Chain A
Amino acid sequence: MEQWVVVTIIISVYLGVTLTIGLLAGRRSTHSVTGYVAADRSFGLLVMYFVTGASVFSAFAFLGGPGWAYSRGGAAFYILAYGAIGMAPFYWIGPRVAALGRKHGYVTQAQLITGRFPSKGLSALIALLSLVAFVPYVTLQMRGAGIVIEAVTDGHVPIWLGSLVAYGIVIVYVLSAGAMAVGWTNTFQGVFMVVIAWTLGLYLPYRLYGGIGEMFTQIQVARPDLLTPPGLDAAGEPWTWGAFSTFILVSAVGLMMWPHLFMKAFTAKDDDTMRRTVILFPTFQLFLIPVFLIGFSGVLFAGSPPAPDFILPFMILETELPAIVVGLFCAGALSASMSTGDALLHASASVFVEDGVAKFVDLDEKMQRRLMQLLVLFTGAVAYVFAQDPDSSLVLLLASAYGIISQFAPPVIAALYWRRATTAGVVAGLIAGAATAFFFWQNPDLKPFDMHEGILGLLVHVPVLVTVSLATPAQSEEHLAGYLS
């Protein structure tokens, strides 16, 4: 049997198992909105750990990470550095958010923010910004899935077909079962992904260089500028410390502000589960080490992939591994893509319906659920069209989206901790911050110290929020009592 046939069979089996798990999990969920969006607040430690870990580690980490290590060297270490910093505050913020969720019946981030700062416009603005940030993120996942399938089947299954089949399956289980399916499939996919990454990450350096230390010693001799931060930029020139540092900061601030991650606070069964998830989360971060090793193993390898994002499948194919290993690897990469893509599709639909539509039109529960399902389909279709564009780097797609997402941090912190914050202050800050980030994203040459546009946005956002809040009348004690105790 030809290699690509074996690989295709393994991938089909893997996809079949994922679909089965997704559909079975859905039968445990109730048909309410809380069931669809927040899995009836039922996730224990195992599922929470993998839901959080697997949703963070996406095609971005699994394909973009090695791509960066391979082409930009030490620049890739930024991806390693931000997770633990970004997650730690959730030890305290998470349980507070969960308590407010139970008290007021919230299932989305915008409901929390607009609960404290009542404004329909604010709700719509958050829904809109979330959607704008989600589309590139979903696009990246779909493209990742397509890249892997095309590469390992020798082009017999092109990107358009690979991403269509993989995401067809995701959409089926997200539509039918919502958060419960996302949780249980991510657990399966998370385990799979970690095992595959460590196996390959250790195997390739030994096979090609005789050891990890050997590999880095040889790279250091041949490419002395590559291995130290801030590494190189996309053109192969030295990257700036300003960009390296602010990429870490904006990602740390933005990490838990992603609606699909923030909403996990509403899905946890109890506060202890959430706290333990936070404590264990950095262990998931260390899984980037083997992923980088895979990328570095390609640096001195003869030949090069069509684009850095292809380095992982390229290495697998060029080192003549048995077909079964190639198939398993491919399933691991698909896990990475699909476990994030499903959470994203699910969250974008939930956010758009709950915060963008339900605030303005009266909908019963059944209608809301139906509308969310329609939106999953719609967002999937839009991202699918974008995913066919060959000129996109996986890491850069995501890094741009962080510019928007990080602007949700000040409103969330203000809602939970600052009594004097007002609706006008929050709205003004969000508009000013998002506009600043957008301006510098459009005009990268004007950025001071090459800083990330999201950080520049925050530097404008926070002072505006504070000034306008202090200039407007404080909220009543009665209202505040519901949020700050």
Chain B
Amino acid sequence: MSLRTTRVLAAAYFVAMTVAVTWPGLVPFSRVEPLIFGLPFAMSWIAAWIAGSVVVLFLVDRVEKRYRDGEAD
């Protein structure tokens, strides 16, 4: 994937996350049932976005690193 596409997608993820954890994106998910791992749904929903951000940043790093190494050559 190109550097530009990667950065745009990463930015899109964090914009989507911002919407998903605030008004109005959080409204439909602001409920208790179903419990996920025993936690209220809204809490798991936010935690899942946080976990996702680790994955996104890790993938971004792989692409960015390839380009940085390429520049050095």
Contact = CB atoms under 8 A, between A and B. Distances in A.
A77 B23 contact: no
B43 A80 contact: yes
Nearest to B41: A228
A91 B60 contact: yes
A417 B10 CA distance: 18
Nearest to B14: A88
B58 A279 contact: yes
Q: Categorize the interface residue count of chain B.
A: 20 to 34
B35 A217 contact: yes
B53 A84 contact: yes
B50 A282 contact: yes
Contacts of B40: 74, 216, 220, 227-228
A216 B24 CA distance: 25
The secondary-structure label for the interface of chain A is helix
Given A77-B43, A286-B47, A88 B53 contact: yes
Q: Categorize the interface residue count of chain A.
A: 35 or more
Interface in B32-53: 32-33, 35, 37-40, 42-43, 46-47, 49-51, 53
Contacts of A245: 22-23
27 contacts: A81-B49, A81-B50, A83-B50, A84-B49, A84-B53, A85-B17, A85-B18, A91-B60, A211-B38, A212-B37, A215-B38, A216-B39, A220-B32, A227-B42, A228-B31, A228-B32, A228-B42, A241-B22, A244-B23, A248-B18, A249-B18, A252-B18, A279-B54, A282-B50, A283-B54, A286-B50, A292-B43
Interface of A: 74, 77, 80-81, 83-85, 88-89, 91, 205, 211-217, 220, 227-230, 241-242, 244-245, 248-249, 252, 275-276, 278-280, 282-283, 285-286, 289, 292
Given A81-B46, A241-B23, 19 more contacts: A74-B30, A74-B40, A74-B42, A84-B49, A84-B53, A85-B14, A89-B14, A213-B38, A220-B32, A228-B32, A229-B30, A229-B42, A241-B27, A242-B23, A248-B21, A252-B18, A275-B64, A278-B57, A282-B50
3 closest pairs, A vs B, by CB?
A212-B38, A213-B38, A245-B22
